[in-house]
Amino acid sequence: MAIIYEKKEKIAYLTINRPEALNALDTTTWREMFGAIEEFRRDDDSWVMIVTGAGDKAFSVGVDLKSTISSLADGGAEDLKWTRESSTWFREIYKPVISAVNGFCFAGAMEMVLATDIRIASENAVFGQMEAKWGIFTSGGGTVRLVREVSWCHAMEMLLAAQMITAQDAYRMGLVNRV
């Protein structure tokens, strides 16, 4: 399973479970994740959701570029429409969503974190909008949310220079609540 979704008392836990791929988001992971998010949204007995990544290397590195590029090359752009819907991560959820970030948090995964209400980072967390290194542009979710969360110059450095930041820097910038 690419996603582990479990409930303990009033708390729902969503874990991205592809540590061998640094928890990259492929089509299967995306579908399972949105199924779990929808289940949380409808479940009146779950009061809060905590989102994290399996393993200690990565929360998630974002979209799985290996599978995405091959799908695009095969003419499967319609199969990848979910990549354009990243701004809908937790839409219409009126309960708190907390991200617990460990390791790498890049690109689409950072967009997901930006959509959460409370953000906790481990000491080893590293954040970045790395799309510029690949010559691609981040979806609207990343650019719009990031410039609203941190100062303009910090956002531009992260977006245009694919600048990575540490957990402590993310805290100082106001990107996370605590480390």
Active site residues: 111, 131
Phi, psi (rounded to 5 degrees) for 68: -65, -50
Residues 45, 10 contacting (CB under 8 angstroms)? yes
- CA–CA dist 143, 57 (Å, integer): 25
- CA–CA dist 71, 69 (Å, integer): 5
